[in-house]
Structures are given as structure tokens and as C-alpha cells.
Structure 1
Amino acid sequence: MKNLNLRLAVLVAAFSVISCSNDPAIETLEEENSVVTLQKTPLTPTQINAKINETVSSRERFEWTNMDAHTIWSATVHGDQILTIGYGNDDNDFNKENSNAESIKNRLLQRIATVEANGQKTIKDFLIEEDSQLNIIDVKIEDLETVIDLLSQKGIRYIEPTGYRYLDHEVTAKSGAGCGYESETLNSADYTTVAPGAKVPWTFYKHNIPAAWSYSTGSGVGIGVIDTGLTPNNSLMNGSFNDGYSSGRYVQKYGTFVDSIWPWSTRTDGPNDKCGHGTSMTAVAAAPRNNDGMPVGVAYNSNLISYRGTKNVLLDGYHEQKGVANALTALGNRSDVKVISMSIGHIISVGRIKDAVRYANNRGKLIFAAGGTSTTFTNFVGVIFPAWMDETVAVTGVTDASYYKECDICHKGSDIDFTVVMQRHGNGSRTTPVLSYYNGQTDYVGGSSVATATTAGIAALVWSRHPGWSKTQVLNRLKQSADFYPYKNSQYGYGNIDALQAVQ
């Protein structure tokens, strides 16, 4: 019924001028003329973004599947003509391993070949790629008629104009997307030095993390961090990952992000961080308890698997979304990975990433996602995607005030599960100390990003303490050790976790 309504919506202009004649030939001609008129006048990016902003400003989730065919097609026109199709027998039929949807895929490809360019194209002319793990195909679409036809077909879970970049058309979106190689000397009040010479961030004490180390340091647990990659220029996150009190563990780096304007390109640009954000997040979760006077991570004896899945923290583009999804499925297939941390997101739902999150979740991974960090163009948004998903654990940052108060730039809302203290009350610059991108340098990081990585580290401590537990048992222990348990606050979830209580 939804698909039928979408199709009717596109043709409403034609129906409004049709006479009372019952001549089917006239009705067909009017319908064709309406399509032709719309084909010549796609919405502008400003008009498309206005629809997106109208939805998210009312704290509703933006899903392309709720848009009409003309809007989807217009975004496809402005997005390199890339349309991603999630197919299957039902909403849960997203994994090729457990699916018999091959016939659906073949039927849809044939429909596109029949409709697109009046049947003048073959499948190889428009098929960009078929996902190897998920029921997803990427196609290049030019015609509005093709979108209308697809929306009427059975077996489609979603169609999305994944080449459309929302942020390219927001004049205020000049935030740097969370990137930067800055370093800053730490204020002595913001850390405590512990043996064998590591600096413990002041925020860790707000969650009893140092006390929890008497019971667990994360040994044997793999933390997968999907972000902008990991620096090659800080030895503590590379060859000296085992340093000081950190030993017997490994760090691995991979890259799934393709830095190219061409959708068919598959060559990644490697595992190294070219933004700075990913380095900060991996350091918060797992930096060694070193003897070099540098900040330590939460789970300083855990294994670390870093993925450069995106160019920056905003998942706004085909290759960013595809890179993150590929990293999720890869981590989902690893038995040594228990925890996944994603301090990245979007204000728009992304079907491919949603499928990949569910894929990894079904394989027992505990997935933490950032609730959102405001910039000039997102301060009207609630909890972002994928943190709003049921399959992820949403985290945001709060200050050290005597009452619960979100950090200056942090999102809050009913989808939040946990909070982490990461900012001095009244002083937004005093956040969590971390390793910097370069050797011997430090920095401060804040927002829901560092809160997410911190919580992922705490989860690794719990799982290391109870290696036979399931992700549900670990999550329940985190809830039980948080401030508001057994209740859930409408804005801050279960609140701050007491790591010591969680591991005891």
C-alpha cells in the first residue's frame, strides 16, 4: 500500500486536471505527460534538504522510504544517479547466507532493464555492484519512471539515493566533520599519574575505571573501532602497543573506505587515519598503560581492530556508507571481536548500514554508537543514526555537574542508553585527555564520540572478567551498574556507569 501511495503522489498533478472523461487513452496520456513534466523538473538540493530538515527538526527519523518517488529520484539526480536497493522476502531478509532472494534480485534487475531508457540498457550498463554479504544492489538510474516502477515492485525493502550528499548543500555545514590533528598540553588537574608512568584522565575516575582495573584490564577481548582509521605516527598505537603494563595483545589496522568520486571504484585508501578522529577514539578505548607519561585507555590490555571505514564522522556519501557497512560485516565475522565502537553517524537513516549493524548484532557483537554531537547545522536534531537503532547501544556525554546535564554539544533523547562524564561543568574546553596523532603529544576530546569509545572500553572490561557471557549478559551488567537502573531516564538512559560495580 505504501508503494502504491508513493506512486499516486507523484502523479497527483495529472489527476488534478483530468476531466470527467472515462476514456482510458486520455488518462494514460495525462499520466505520461505528468511524468515527462516532472522528469524535466527535479527538486533542487535546497528543496530536498528542506524536506529532510522538516522531518528531523520535529525529532522524527528521516527514512527515504517515507518519501515519494519524485523526491527520491530528484536526490538520485543530484547524487551521481546512484540508487541503492535493499531487497528480500521481508524486512528481516537482508543476509545472503540465510536468504533465497536471488530470484527477487534477478527480477528487479530485469525490471530496471525494461523500464530504464525505454529498455535501451542492459543490466551491465546500470549495475554498479552487488553486495557479497547482504541483499543489496547499487544501480545507476536516470529516469523517474524507473523509480516509480521500483516502488510498485514486491521484494523491495528500501530504495535510497545513496550518492546524494546532504551536507554539500547546507551552507552552515562547515564544521570540519570532526577532523583535526591538533595537540594540547594537558592541565595537571585533568589527570593523575599512575605506575608505570601513565596519565589517567580525570573523566575515568567519574566512572571508577581505575578501581575496576584491579579486577579486569580487558585482556582477551577484541574491540573493533570503525572510524577514520588509526595514525601511523604514534608508536603507542602501533609497534609499542604493548608498552608498560600492557602486554600480550595485538593491534590490527584495515581500510574499507574508497576515496573516489567514481562509484564503481573499489580501491581503498588504506587503514591510516587521515582525519585524526579515529586515532582519538581508538586511544580512549585501548591506549597502553605506558611508561612514557601519556594518557592510558580504558581497556589497556584489550586487542584493538581499527577500521578506516569513512573519511570523517559524517556518513554522508556512497563510499562512506559502503565503507562502514563493509567494516561492520567484516567485524561481525570475527570471533575475536566482542565489542564494536562507532563514534560516527548521520541524521538520515542508511539502509545499507542498518543491514550491516543487524548482521553484526546477530553474530553476538555489542555495538556502541554515538548519540550525536551538535554543530551549527545539527543542533536541532535528537539522537542520530545508527544510535537510534534497537540493535545499537546509544551513548552521549554529560558534564561533571551535580545534576545530569548534557555536554555543550551533545545530543540527548529517549534513544540514549548510557552517559559518560567528559566535560567540566561550565568549561567546554576541559574534556577527556587522550593520545594525539603524533608521538609524545596529547590532546583533549569531547562530545558523544569520546563517551561512546569510553563505554566500549568499559564493556570490554566486563567481558574480559566474564569471558563466557553473552552480549545480553554484558549489557545487563552495564545497566545494573548505572545510576538510574532499574529505570531509564527519558533523556539520559540508564545514566553513568560505575565500572567497578560492573566488573565485581
Structure 2
Amino acid sequence: MKSGSVRGGKFGIISVLIIGMLFSCAKDEEGTVNTVSSNGEVFERDTLSVSEINSRIDVIRQAKGEFNWSDATNQMIWSAIVHSENVVTIGYQGDLSGATNKGTSEDQEIKTRLKKMVLTSEMKGIASKKAEEDKLFLGENDTIKFIDVFIHNRETFVNLLKENNIRYIEPSNYAYEIEQKNIMKSASSIYESGCGAAAETLTAGDYTVVAPNAKVPWNFYIHNIPQAWEYSTGAGVTIAVVDTGIADQQSLMGSDFNNGLSQGRTVEKYSTYVDSFWPWATTVTSPNDACGHGTTMNAVAAAPRNNKGFPVGVAYNANLISYKASSGVYIGFYQASRGVEKAFMKLADNNKVKIISMSMGTEGIIPQTKIRDAIKYAYSKNKLIFSAAGTSVQVINNFYGVIFPATMDEVVAVTGIQEGAEFKRCDNCHSGKEVDFTVVMQRTGTKKTVPVLGSVNNTEEYVGGSSVATATMAGVAALVWSKNPTWTRQQVLDKLQRSASLYPSKDAQFGYGNVDVLKAVQ
């Protein structure tokens, strides 16, 4: 784990240079009213273009290692709101120390006052107020204390900046346009990256067949996972995977999940994702995985060991809970971020869950505080949380390091490396100081990755990147916890660290290195 990157305080949205400022007004040369801070910084009325916003994000990110809206000026934040369908998240109260009590009466009073203020400001000049009011408020969470709203009037934003009980105001639907750097042709390809059911024929040298007729991926032996199965198979531990769901077409992750040597366990499938571009849509989609990524991640962690002839998961006797939180791998737009937040909140309150694995991220550019707070809430409930350090095309790999939420102190960050004596990240994997563990998942010669159960019945495929590395580590943690059921989260994490190849040192790019799973369960 690593140092946290969130700052507290009343005004989480304001640059560290202007936190705590008081606001007044002044006129520019043309007589237009600007908001001015006590230190003289002007909240310009001019709206920045998307390219201007992104350029300023780059400057901040390069200076601090990670961009947060708390580092942005008010002009940047307002401009981003304008360019993202005016969807805004308002986090209220100064701290979340009382998060477990679902909100005090004081919290409710603050929320009610903020909603009334937004309503009054936004409804000015609108005749059919009831119709518009119904569309104004999108959602809220009384535990981690935020409300999602539409804000069209600059005056509303200015008034919110003056409030004493606001932690942050953030654009909820702003997507950093990576294509401006000639990295990708379209933003949509970023969010769809990692999807696609690609059935493949496995090369014989990439797996070993074990009883009763299951395929063990080549990289399992490098980490001594099959040897560790003599001591633990994950029984009694529940792994939760937050991703794109599990495909209905894959019976081995459904009706045949409890099969063969995988006995006495359960799989549960849920969804928190609203599959709509429209922020006001509320109908949650089915848990079915139309992307394919979630199915393979669930399979890496806990696919059954039986006589069907397909790749086995790391913890083949663990229970599994799958949450569909997005339709793609990257958390960018409003419905996906809300889906992730809701999934973590539900898993936090599920006493059966010990481990949460999420192989999705934001591409690291724009962390969202409501996701951060939901993860912190899950962490407060003693969940061991694994997240992918990042997987993308090589040029983005060089452009950006570890992605959010793997940058969080509460999260165990995992990345993939190539086989061999030297530590060399896989072709599309990110690395950095936040990484805690590595998993070997790419062959040096053939560049083949890891054999995995496919998202369609009777199929298998190769999957790589930090995604599969993360799901693998979640399974490994389940093996350790199953062997030591009375252990705390910290004891499990300590054992993983002590069993890693670089311990007690921590490398600046690869953390503690590869875990020897046999050592971890002995």
C-alpha cells in the first residue's frame, strides 16, 4: 500500500493555493462580474475549452504525480462542468468519521439546505418548475455524503463555493480526451478497451493438465500455486469482483460453478450499472457480461477445477460474488462511476466478503472522490482490496504511471511482468511507486499471456495485463486467508509481503515483487 493522495478540508475542489479563501466580487475591463479570492485570484468568467482543461490537467499531473479536482482552479472545474453535460457531484460535511452511522441529523440538515439552494438558483426564470425539479437531482449517498445534480447556472457554482460544509464539487461526467495526444483515435475506444470474447486455441506448452481434467496455466507454476493447493484451495473465503459482470453463456461460472473438485461453494451475480448514456436514467441492467472482461477476471480468481478440460482459477474452492459496475474497463462517464461507487458500498456492508478485486480504473487522469470515499468505506469494513496498476497501449503506458484507484493507500496495487530473471513489465502494463505486487503473466519469447476460461461455453482464451495480475492476487489472498481463517486483513497482507521475492525491500516500480504462494500458505 502507499501514501494517500486526498486532502481533507472544507473546500476539496479548490487548489491548495486557495483553500480556505473568502470570496468577493470585482469587475473586469468589460464590466463582467468575476469571483475573486482574498489572495487576488480571479475566477474568470471565460469558459476554457476541453483542450485547455486537459493541458492544465497535464501540468498538474506532471508536477504532483496524480491529478485531483482539488488541485484545479475554480475556472477549470466550472469549465469541465460545462463540457460534461453539467453533471456535478457535491460532497458535503468536513469529514467522514461518522460514515458508518448513515448520516446524522446535522448531515441531513446540510444536505437539505444544499439541495434547496441549488433548486432555488437553478429554477430562476423557469416557469414549469416541477417538471424541471424532477430532472435536477440525479442521486445521493447519505453514508459517504454526496449529492449528484445538474448545475447550469454559474451563480449556483459560485454560491456553493461559499458554503462552509462542502468537501468538494466535481464534474461527474468529464472524460479526459486522451486522443488529443494522438494516442487513440476516439475516446470511446478507451472505455471499450479490454472487451471482446476472443475464443482461442491454447498452445500445449502454455498449460498443464491436472486431475480430474483441468488446465493449469503456465504462470501458476512460477508462483507455486499448484503446490500451494496441497495446503489451501480457498474454501470458506468469499472473493468479490467489481467489473463488467459474468456472461450468462458461461455455465462454468454459473450452474457448473460448484462442480468436480470445486465443492460446497456459491457464486452470486449482481449489477449496479445503469446502461445508459443519460445521467438521469435509473434502470439497472442485468448482471450479464456483454464485454467479456468481467467473466475472465472472475474466472482467473475462482474458475472451477473439474473434468471439463478448461483453465482452473487460483482459488477454485472460494465463494464468488460478481458485481457488474460498468459496460467497459475504464471508469469514465457518470453511470460507470456511480456503478462502481454503489458496488463498493454494497460489498462493504456484506459481512461474507473478505476480498474485493477490481481490474478497472480511470486511466489515472481524473480520480473521482465519490469512488475514493466508497473504497475507503469498504476498507473501514476490513475488506482487503486489490486494484490494477493499469493496462493500455504502450504509448499511454509511457505517458502515465499507476492509475486510480490503485494509487490509493487503502488499495493493494498489482501489475503484470514478463517471465525471466529480471523484472520487466508486460508490454501493456503500468508500473510505479504505488505498485505492491507483481504477477508473471507474459511469456518472453511468444508474448503469450495467461490461459483463461472464456466468456462463452466451451471456449478459452489468453488474457494479460495488470487486470489478470490483479485477479490472480485476489485468488492468492483467498488461499492464504482460507488457510488462516482467524487472521486479520493486515496479517494476510503481511504474509503476502514476507512471501514475495523482493521483501523486505520495496522496488520503486515493482513493489515487493512476485509472491511465492507455497511459502505464503505454509
Shift of 1:392: 0.6
Number of residue pairs aligned between Structure 1 and Structure 2: 493
Distance in 2 (alpha carbons) for counterparts of 1:457 and 1:209: 10
Q: Aligned pair in 2 of structure 1 residues 16, 427: CA closer, same or farther (>3 Å)?
A: farther
| Conserved 8 A contact 2:301-2:315 | yes
Q: Does 2:436 correspond to 1:420?
A: no
Q: List gaps (5 residues or longer) in structure 2.
A: 1-9
Give the match for residue 61 of structure 2. 56
What is the match of residue 189 of structure 1? 205
Question: Which digits, 9 at most, give the CA deviation of each residue in 1:360-381, with x for residues without a partner?
Answer: 1111110000001122545411
Aligned twin of 1:101: 107
**Aligned with 1:163 (options 168, 173, 179):** 173
Q: Secondary structure at the match of 1:451?
A: helix
Q: Please give the residue correspondences for 1:303-314 in structure 2 after superposition, counting only pairs within 5 Å.
A: 303-314=319-330
Instruction: Find the partner of 1:71 among 63, 72, 76.
Output: 76
Bigger shift: residues 377-386 or 433-442: 377-386
The aligned counterpart of 2:7 is: none
1:145 Cα shift? 2.4
Question: Pairwise CA RMSD of aligned residues?
Answer: 2.9
C-alpha separation in 1, matches of 2:134 and 2:42: 26
Which residue of structure 2 aligns with residue 113 of structure 1?
119
3-state DSSP of counterpart to 1:421:
strand
State how far apart, in whole Å, the 2-side matches of 1:13 and 1:154 are: 18
C-alpha contact (below 8 Å) 1:59/1:381 kept by paired residues: no
Contact persistence 1:57–1:380 (CA under 8 A): no
Counterpart of 2:3? none
2:488 pairs with 1:470: yes
From 76, 80, 86, the counterpart of 1:81? 86
Shift of the 94–148 alpha-carbon distance from structure 1 to 2, 3 Å rule, reads farther
- The structural deviation recorded for 1:8 is 11
Q: Deviations 1:259-281 (Å, cap 9, x if unpaired)?
A: 11222221111101010100110
Q: 1:37 to 1:412 in 2, by over 3 A?
A: closer
Deviations 1:374-405 (A, max 9, x none): 22545411111000101110000111121111
Question: 5+ unaligned residues in a row in structure 1: which ranges?
Answer: 19-25
2:450 matched to 1:445? no
1:418 alignment partner AA:
F
Per-residue CA deviations over 1:456-498 (Å, capped at 9, x if unaligned) read 0000001111111111111111111111212211111111111
Match of 1:203?
219
Determine which of 418, 421, 434 is the counterpart of 2:452: 434
State whether structure 2 residue 410 is matched by structure 1 residue 391: yes
Please give the TM-score of this superposition, normalised by the length of structure 2: 0.88
The aligned counterpart of 1:291 is: 307
Asked whether the equivalents of residues 10 and 68 of structure 1 are also in contact (C-alpha less than 8 Å), the reply is no
| Distance verdict in 2 for CA 1:315–1:402, change over 3 Å | same
| C-alpha distance 113-7 of structure 1, shift in aligned 2 (>3 A) | farther
The answer to whether structure 1 residue 226 and structure 2 residue 261 are counterparts is: no
User: For the Cα contact (< 8 Å) 1:82–1:140, is it kept in 2?
Assistant: yes
Provide the rounded CA distance (Å) in 1 between the counterparts of 2:172 and 2:474. Answer: 29
Could you tell me how far apart the structure 2 residues matched to 1:59 and 1:206 are? 36
CA shift at 1:98, angstroms? 5.7
Which residue number corresponds to residue 407 of structure 1? 426
Name the structure 1 match of 2:48.
43
Contact 2:34/2:44 (CA < 8 Å) preserved in 1? no
Alignment equivalent of 1:214, drawn from 215, 230, 233: 230
SS of the aligned residue for 1:417 comes to strand
TM-score between the two structures when normalised by the length of structure 1: 0.91
Counterpart residue number, 1:139 = 149
**CA distance in structure 2 between the partners assigned to 1:319 and 1:356 by the alignment:** 15
Distance 2:100 2:177 in 1: 30
CA contact (8 A) 2:103 2:142 kept: no
Distance 2:81 2:433 in 1: 32
Distance 1:30 1:148, change over 3 A: closer
Q: 1:477 to 1:119 in 2, by over 3 A?
A: farther
- Structure 1 residue aligned with 2:520: 502
Whether the 8 Å CA contact 1:6–1:67 is kept in 2: the answer is no
Q: Which residue of 1 aligns with 2:337?
A: 321
Instruction: Name the CA distance, whole Å, in 2 between partners of 1:178 and 1:365.
Output: 26
User: Structure 1: how far apart are the matches of 2:319 and 2:125?
Assistant: 53
Q: Is 1:130 equivalent to 2:140 in the alignment? A: yes
- Aligned counterparts of 1:57 and 1:196: Cα–Cα separation in 2: 52
Which residue identity is paired with 1:365?
Answer: K
Q: 1:10, 1:69 within 8 Å by CA — same for their partners in 2?
A: no
Distance (whole Å) between structure 2 residues aligned to residue 338 and residue 420 of structure 1: 21
SS at match of 1:460: helix
Cα pair distance change 1:64/1:208, threshold 3 Å: same
The residue type equivalent to 1:444 in the other structure is Y
Q: CA deviation at 1:357?
A: 0.4
